[in-house]
C-alpha cells in the first residue's frame, strides 16, 4: 500500500472483545481478480481513495492486510431467528471482517466481505458470491443512500473467475468478491448467541464495546437498558425510512439487523412499484412475513429479541418499557422521512401525520407509482395529473413550506430515477451477455444525481 493519507485512521477495536467472538480465517485464493467497481466516494471518507487499482486489488481481492488494522480476517460468531425460527448454527459463512477504520466523521467503520471463501460457519455452502449478487448489492446500496436510508455502502466488487452452481438461477454463473463499508457488524444475533450460551460476562463486555465505540457512552449499571434504547430508536427510524423509500429488504432476520440500525446485507430486495402492503421481495417468503407493509412489525419483533437476550444481565421491566417506545419513535420518523422526500419542512406532529396518512391513502387509491408521485410532488405541490385521490394531500400540503426548489437538473427530466426489478435484470443481462458495464455505470451516476437533488 502506498503512503496513507492523513484521512486514513486504522483501528483494531474488535480485538478488545477477545477470541470468543470470532474465528481467524483466510480468504479464498481466487483464479483471477478483475476490478469491476470501486467506490471512491466512500473510499475518500476513510482515506483510501488514493489507492492505485493494483493496490486496491491486492487489499480487496487478495486481502493483504491494511497497515495498522487487523492482521488477519475474522469471521464473526452470531445466532439469529430466521423467519422466526431460532438458528444457533450460523455466523459469517461466506464473509469476514477484514479491517476497521475511522471515517471523516470519527465513526468506527468496518470493511467486511461477501463471497470471500469458506469459514467455520459455512456449513454446506461454498462461501462464494455470484457476480449478479454483487451487482444487485451495488444497485441497492446506491439507491438507498440516495433516498436517505442509513445503509452500508458497496465499497468494492471484484470478479474472481470461478463458475458457480446455484439452484435458483441459471448456472454456471460468474463469481465475485464484494467488500462493504459499514458502521459496524454487531447484530442482534450477536447478543442472542451469548444469551443462548448463558455467557453473562461476555454479554457485559459486548454491551460496553457497543456503547463505547458506537454511541460514545460508558456502560454503567444500566448499560443494557441504554443500549436497547439506542437500538429501538435507530431501528424505528430505519423501518420508517424503508417505507418512505418504497423498499422491501426481503430478509429481516435478527442476524440481519445491525445494532447501529444501519441497513445491510441485501439478498432478494425489491423496490415496490406501488403502495402495496402485501408486496414481497423473496420468492420463498410464502407467508409474506417480510412484506412491504409488515416491515415495521418485523423490525420491532427483532428488537424484541434483543430485549429477550439482554435479560441475561438486566431486569425485565425497564427493558419492556424501552421496547414499548418503538411506536412513538416510529410515527414521527415516518412523518420526517416522507416530508423529506416531498421536499417540504415539517410543521407540527398532528399536521405532519395527516400529510403522511393522506399521501398513503392517495397512493393506495390510485395505485400510483411511488417514485412518480414523489418526483412530481417534490416541493409540496401535487399536480392534478396525479388524480383526485390526492385532493386531501394537496389541501394539507398547501400550508407547508418547501425545503428546496426544483432547480436541480434532476427535476427537469421526464421521469424519476427508479429501481424496479425489470431494470435490475436488464442491467445484469448486459453484463452477463455482452460484458457491458456501461448500463450499470450510467445507473449509478443517475442515482447519485437524484441523491444530490434530494439533498
- Is 199 an annotated catalytic residue? no
Q: Which of 235, 264, 283 is nearest to 92 (CA)?
A: 264
Which residues make beta-bridge pairs with 77?
91
Q: Which residues contact 387 (CB under 8 A, 6 or more apart)?
A: 362, 365, 366, 368
Q: What are the distances in angstroms from CA 191 to CA 91, 206, 305? A: 12, 8, 9
Neighbours of 319 (CB within 10 A): 23
- Strands 153-164 vs 173-182: parallel, antiparallel or unpaired: antiparallel
- DSSP helix/strand/coil, 188: helix
Residue 398 buriedness (CB in 10 A; 0-12 / 13-18 / 19+): exposed
Return d(Cα 285, Cα 281) in angstroms, integer: 8
Q: Which of 310, 304, 272 is nearest to 290 (CA)?
A: 272
Which residues make beta-bridge pairs with 187?
258
Return d(Cα 128, Cα 138) in angstroms, integer: 17
End-to-end CA distance of the chain: 35
Q: What are the distances in angstroms from CA 30 to CA 37, 57, 119, 146? A: 17, 12, 15, 33
Return d(Cα 119, Cα 25) in angstroms, integer: 6
Residue 353 buriedness (CB in 10 A; 0-12 / 13-18 / 19+): middle
Q: Any idea which residue has 424519476 for its cell?
A: 416
Distance of CA 258 to the CA centre of its chain: 9
Q: Which of 92, 110, 255, 371 is catalytic?
A: 255
- DSSP helix/strand/coil, 187: strand
Q: Which of 453, 450, 429 is nearest to 144 (CA)?
A: 450
- DSSP helix/strand/coil, 233: helix
Kindly list the catalytic residues.
255
Amino acid at each position: 500500500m502506498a503512503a496513507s493519507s492523513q484521512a486514513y485512521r486504522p483501528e483494531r477495536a474488535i480485538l478488545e472483545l477477545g477470541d470468543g467472538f470470532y474465528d481467524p480465517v483466510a480468504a479464498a485464493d481466487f483464479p483471477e481478480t478483475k476490478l469491476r467497481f470501486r467506490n471512491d466516494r466512500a473510499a475518500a471518507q476513510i482515506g483510501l481513495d488514493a489507492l492505485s487499482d493494483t493496490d486496491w486489488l491486492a487489499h480487496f481481492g487478495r486481502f493483504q492486510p491494511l497497515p495498522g488494522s487487523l492482521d488477519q480476517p475474522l469471521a464473526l460468531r452470531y445466532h439469529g431467528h430466521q423467519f422466526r425460527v431460532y438458528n444457533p448454527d450460523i455466523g459469517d459463512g461466506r464473509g469476514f471482517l477484514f479491517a476497521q477504520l475511522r471515517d471523516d466523521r470519527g465513526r468506527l467503520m468496518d470493511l467486511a466481505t461477501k463471497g470471500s471463501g469458506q469459514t467455520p460457519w459455512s456449513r454446506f455452502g461454498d462461501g462464494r458470491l455470484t457476480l449478479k449478487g454483487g451487482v444487485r448489492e451495488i444497485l441497492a446500496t446506491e439507491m438507498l443512500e440516495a433516498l436517505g436510508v442509513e445503509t452500508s455502502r458497496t465499497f468494492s466488487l471484484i470478479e474472481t473467475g470461478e463458475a458457480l452452481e446455484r439452484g435458483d438461477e441459471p448456472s454456471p454463473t460468474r463469481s465475485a468478491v464484494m467488500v462493504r463499508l459499514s458502521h459496524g457488524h454487531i447484530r442482534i444475533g450477536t447478543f442472542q448467541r451469548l444469551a443462548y450460551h448463558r455467557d453473562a460476562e461476555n454479554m457485559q463486555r459486548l454491551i460496553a464495546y457497543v456503547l463505547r465505540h458506537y454511541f460514545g457512552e460508558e456502560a454503567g449499571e444500566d448499560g443494557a437498558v441504554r443500549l436497547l434504547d439506542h437500538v429501538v430508536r435507530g431501528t424505528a427510524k430505519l423501518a420508517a425510512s424503508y417505507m418512505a423509500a418504497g423498499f422491501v429488504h426481503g430478509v429481516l432476520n435478527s442476524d440481519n439487523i445491525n445494532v447501529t440500525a444501519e441497513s445491510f446485507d441485501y439478498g432478494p430486495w425489491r423496490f415496490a412499484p406501488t403502495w402495496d402492503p402485501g408486496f414481497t421481495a423473496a420468492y420463498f417468503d410464502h407467508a409474506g412475513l417480510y412484506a412491504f407493509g409488515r416491515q415495521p412489525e418485523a423490525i420491532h419483533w427483532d428488537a424484541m429479541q434483543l430485549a429477550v437476550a439482554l435479560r441475561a444481565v438486566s431486569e425485565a421491566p425497564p427493558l419492556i418499557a424501552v421496547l414499548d417506545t418503538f411506536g412513538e419513535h416510529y410515527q414521527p420518523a415516518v412523518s420526517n422521512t416522507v416530508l423529506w422526500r416531498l421536499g417540504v419542512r415539517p410543521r407540527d406532529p398532528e399536521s405532519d401525520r395527516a400529510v403522511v396518512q393522506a399521501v398513503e391513502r392517495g397512493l393506495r387509491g390510485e395505485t400510483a407509482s411511488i417514485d412518480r408521485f414523489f418526483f412530481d410532488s417534490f416541493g409540496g405541490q401535487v399536480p392534478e395529473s396525479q388524480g383526485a385521490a390526492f385532493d386531501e394531500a394537496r389541501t394539507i400540503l398547501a400550508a407547508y413550506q418547501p425545503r428546496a426548489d426544483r432547480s436541480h437538473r434532476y427535476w427537469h427530466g421526464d421521469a424519476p430515477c427508479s429501481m424496479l426489478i425489470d431494470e435490475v435484470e436488464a442491467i445484469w443481462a448486459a453484463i452477463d451477455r455482452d460484458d457491458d458495464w456501461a448500463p450499470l455505470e450510467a445507473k449509478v451516476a443517475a442515482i447519485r444525481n437524484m441523491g444530490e437533488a434530494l439533498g
